[in-house]
Amino acid sequence: MSDPINKMFRDDLDGWAEVSDRLRIWDYVDNFTYLVPHPNLRVLGPNLRYYADHSVKGIFNEVVVQPDRPGFAELKLWLLGQLMWNLDQDEEVLIEDFVRGYYGPAADSILAYLKAIHDAVEATDDHLGLSSPPDADFLSWSTLSEGWKHLSAAEEAVADDPELRKRVRLQWIPVWFTFMFRWDDLLAEAKGANGSWPFDGTQLDLHADLVELAAEHDLNLKGRSSPIAF
């Protein structure tokens, strides 16, 4: 909320606060268009505190809660719930607490993945919205390849636990989706960086693998915006 891009909304909020001390907000904290990484965990706490300091008494945070949908919805909902009960809590402590409890031995790799994608978006001028596109600057080859390394390690850490392995593999989908969506551009970036391409086969092969992975979680990709229709 403190970013200059949000000045118009801040001005509106200040105007409403002058005439009411019972403001309510409906906020979107997810990507509702593309199945790409959406690293906004670090702004949730500061934004809630900003609202609380500006006469907001209630907030509805809309997160896509379809069962087995990727994007760390469970983490976001838990974090938001904890902070709305007590804004004095440290969100970094809360995030680590949830990840260690929910992903078990894969926690270190999941935390490394979250750090990588959050650091990446903070290093760009990207501003996440409810329809942030797959070609956002932070979704570069270097970010995605590092993220995939951590997610692969996460699966290896829980290979013998079917439930934890399923939870980890769910979070593969946004990374695979972005690789598939931007196949040619990312392949060119990888070659330019002398990077090791993580997938065998073609874009069509990854598309098929993505459909199979989504089916493991009863996730229907039909109708999703994609260069290859689902």
In this structure, is residue 44 part of a structural domain?
Answer: yes
With 70 as the cut, is the pLDDT of residue 67 above it?
A: no
Q: Are 125 and 102 in contact (CB under 8 A)?
A: no
Tokens encoding 118 = 């959050």
What is the CA angle 191-195-200, rounded to 5?
85
Nearest alpha-carbon partner for 211 in 200, 199, 224: 224
What is the CA angle 146-106-187, rounded to 5?
20
In this structure, is residue 118 part of a structural domain?
Answer: yes
In this structure, is residue 134 part of a structural domain?
Answer: yes
Q: How many domains are there within the chain?
A: 1
- How confident is the model over 169-220, as pLDDT tens digits? 999 999 999 999 999 999 999 999 999 999 999 999 999 999 999 999 988 8
Q: If DSSP codes are grouped into helix, strand and coil, which group holds residue 61?
A: strand
pTM over 0.75: yes
In this structure, is residue 69 part of a structural domain?
Answer: yes
In this structure, is residue 78 part of a structural domain?
Answer: yes
In this structure, is residue 89 part of a structural domain?
Answer: yes
In this structure, is residue 182 part of a structural domain?
Answer: yes
Q: Are 79 and 95 in contact (CB under 8 A)?
A: yes
- How confident is the model over 4-42, as pLDDT tens digits? 999 999 999 999 999 998 899 999 999 988 999 999 999
In this structure, is residue 226 part of a structural domain?
Answer: no
Average pLDDT over residues 72-78: 92
Residue 41 lies in domain: 4-216
Band of the pLDDT at 65, cuts 50, 70, 90? low
Burial classification of residue 172, based on how many CB atoms lie within 10 Å of its CB (0-12 exposed, 13-18 middle, 19 or more buried):
buried
Nearest alpha-carbon partner for 110 in 98, 124, 123: 98
Any bridge partners for residue 28, and if so which?
62
